Amino acid sequence: MTVDNPEMPRVRAYRAPMVRAWTFVAVLAALAAALWVGILMSLGPFERPFSVPWWALIPLVFLAESAVIHVTFRKDAHSFSLSEIVLIVGLFLSSPAALLVAQVIGNSASLVLGRRQVPTKVAFNVSQLVLVTGLATVVFRVLVNMGDPLGPTGWLAAIAASVASIVVAELAINTVIHLTGGNMSRGEMLETMVFGSIGASLNAALGLIVVFIAWYDPRSVWLATVPPLLMYVAYRTHAVQRNHHKHLESMHAVTEAIHTAPDLAAALVDAAGSARELVAADWLEIVVFMDEELRPYQTIVQLNGLEAPMVPSSLVNELPPWWQSVIGDAESAIVHEASWSGVEGSPPITKDVIVAPIVGTERLHGYVLAADRLGDVNVFGTADIQLLETVAKQVSVALDNGRLETSLATVTALKEQLEGMVRSKDQFVASVSHELRTPLTAVVGFAEQLEQNLEIFEHSDLKEFVGLIAHESSTLSHIIEDLLVAARADIGTLAIHAESIDATQAVQDLMDLSPTSSGSSPITVKGEPAQAWADPVRFRQVVRNLLTNAQRYGGDDIGIDIEERGHVITITVSDNGPGVPECREHLIFEAYERGHEESTQPGSVGLGLAVSRQLARMMGGDLAYSRHHSTTRFEFTVPAFVDDGCRGSEPVAGDPEAIGVPDRL
């Protein structure tokens, strides 16, 4: 029994995992060598009617390892073969030395010639095979010596030897996967061991049938080949049907993705993902040329979920060997060796690759490339080429329908928009970092002064320090609150909980609770009690932002007027400051914009007015700016409360697009 394809790293990308893998292989080889030295020196002869020579076992080992059942977990293909049958025959009818030689030669031939494994994997598989064969030999000899070799004792010895080899092989597999950066869950390990133990027990039973017949009548041994052949044929039939069904599903997914996706970039990503599964590749790319100048746009999907849709690329300096066949002659190619893609940015190809050209009605559109067959249990073949050519034809139809130019233009525009947003975000982060740091530095500085010099300050000094700390902390809290509100509005999770409030009393309470800095002029509040229908928390936030704005940029005469105008409550915040320059009046309600070219006031990120307007509109009102003579006015309106007996506090979800909320946070 051989467990195939432990996850080995790509040498070009990961040197450390490769060193760990080779070290583990060396440890396995050393353990196997020590075990076999003990076996050959200590085990005595085993009575049997005849002995099968090593050269007769080799073709049996090779054939058994060629008839495998593949179970794939992520990138690792575990191959449960019929090799336990040969193992049982060798344990009963051959010497330990003959069995060892046959196992090494037969399995090595299967791994190199049949599965085309890389040297690291061949070395690992051969090392663990020698180890588990030795362990099986020891388990078998210890148990079989307790009774009749062809009785229940011999049956138990055969099954125990097979199961022991499965468990040790699985432990070795998981160890090397872990050392090379992979991972298999306990559930997957248990499932593999249980499945392998059942298969090993069944194979051991078939092997015992062969041994019984050969022991008593070697001329009839051919009858023992019937059950394994029937089981293999049944599996092959099931596997073919299963693969055929899987291919149909994947091809349908490819067709549906190409012809139903909203744009070609998304279609190619979906098609590439389905095509990668279709041919069981580690990664797959679709390269589309803009024109006859061969300007490539690259779409890549990988097994680990990474993908890159329609990325502008360029040709590599040294084109791969298959390039002339695919691009020059428009013929598919298959290469069973390490290679590379024809465009920049692709992963290296470590084992094999198949490439199919995308041939249009007038010119060559590009190619579809699948690299590194999963599991190393086999390599790409003619059937895979045919599947990939079908995918290429589907892509060609979409390109010939004229969708490429529109899609690429959309992708380019989105890319430029994204780059602009990234630049805007970088500027915003820098601004926010500065504005948050200013009040925070003040709070830390005042607190350290109090901590270090508390005993030398007078009571009045302490009161002033505490007041400054409270003011700066309040400033910091307000900045963070505005940022959170803007972020929630952008993603549509901000809700308004409206209820009846006394607008005049709410403003007065806000004035009483808000800390004021030293030297601030008193703010006058005028107005009779007025019942508004608004969210009390968001109402206070809007008024607070307007007062903060007036204190920073307005004059020293700040007033608040509250009046009821029909079904609307209007809160007007006015000051005698210079106002907003006419050239920037249209910017003051934009997120992250300020009314002046440069601000000398800390704690401003250009978000307060934008947040205030969007909150006002979400509450059913508005916020407007005006300049009358020498007075700056901000009018904040909310609906007046109408006691019709039907209204209650209810959340209203924000819709940024419907209310003009900037979407740049």
pLDDT tens readout for residues 498-536: 899 998 888 888 887 665 544 556 788 888 888 999 988
Delimiting residues of CATH 1.10.1760 domain(s) in the chain: 15-216
Q: Evaluate if residue 56 carries a pLDDT over 80.
A: yes
Delimiting residues of CATH 3.30.450.40 domain(s) in the chain: 245-401
- The phi and psi torsions of 13 (rounded to 5 degrees) equal -100, -30
CB distance 563 to 532 below 8 Å:
no
pLDDT of residue 248: 60
Higher pLDDT, 240 or 332: 332
Higher pLDDT, 267 or 490: 267
The average pLDDT across 88-109 equals 86
Domain formed by 245-401, architecture: 2-Layer Sandwich (3.30)
From the number of C-beta atoms within 10 Å of its C-beta (0-12, 13-18, 19+), residue 167 rates as: middle
pLDDT of residue 255: 64
Fold of 15-216: Arp2/3 complex 21 kDa subunit ARPC3 (1.10.1760)
3-state helix, strand, coil in the chain (%, to 5): 55, 15, 25
- The phi and psi torsions of 637 (rounded to 5 degrees) equal -120, 145
Which of 69-78, 133-142, 649-658 has the least mean pLDDT?
649-658
**What is the three-class DSSP state of 191?**
helix
Q: Distance between the two ends of the chain, CA-based, in angstroms? A: 58
pLDDT of residue 4: 41
Two structure tokens written together for 188: 């997957």
Q: Evaluate if residue 129 carries a pLDDT over 50.
A: yes
pLDDT of residue 655: 42
6 pLDDT band (50/70/90 cuts)? very low
pLDDT in tens, 348-406: 888 889 999 988 877 888 899 999 887 655 678 888 888 888 888 888 877 776 555 55
The average pLDDT across 3-18 equals 45
Higher pLDDT, 78 or 219: 219
From the number of C-beta atoms within 10 Å of its C-beta (0-12, 13-18, 19+), residue 233 rates as: exposed
Delimiting residues of CATH 3.30.565.10 domain(s) in the chain: 472-659
CB distance 354 to 388 below 8 Å:
yes
Q: If you average pLDDT over every residue of the chain, what do you get? A: 76
Cα distance between residue 129 and residue 168, in whole Å: 10
- Strands 495-497 and 364-373: what pairing? unpaired
pLDDT in tens, 171-219: 888 887 777 665 666 777 777 778 777 877 888 888 888 888 888 877 7
Two structure tokens written together for 363: 């010119």
pLDDT of residue 568: 92
Which CATH code of 3.40.30.10, 3.30.565.10, 3.40.50.300, 3.40.50.1970 fits the domain covering 472-659? 3.30.565.10
pLDDT in tens, 254-305: 666 666 655 677 778 878 888 888 888 888 998 888 766 777 888 887 876 6
CB distance 592 to 607 below 8 Å:
yes
Crossing angle of helices 403-453/382-400, nearest 10°? 90
CB distance 110 to 69 below 8 Å:
no
Crossing angle of helices 152-179/83-93, nearest 10°? 130
**Percentage of the chain modeled with pLDDT above 90:** 6
Q: Which residues contact 655 (CB under 8 A, 6 or more apart)?
A: 492
CB distance 375 to 410 below 8 Å:
no
SS3 per residue for 535-546: CHHHHHHHHHHH
Q: Evaluate if residue 578 carries a pLDDT over 80.
A: yes
Handedness of CA 153, 159, 160, 165 (dihedral sign): positive
pLDDT of residue 663: 32
CB distance 5 to 76 below 8 Å:
yes
150 pLDDT band (50/70/90 cuts)? confident
The DSSP secondary structure of 352-379, one letter per residue, reads -EEEEEEE-SSSEEEEEEEEEEGGGSS-
Cα distance between residue 84 and residue 102, in whole Å: 13
Cα distance between residue 381 and residue 372, in whole Å: 12
Higher pLDDT, 291 or 325: 325
pTM: 0.43
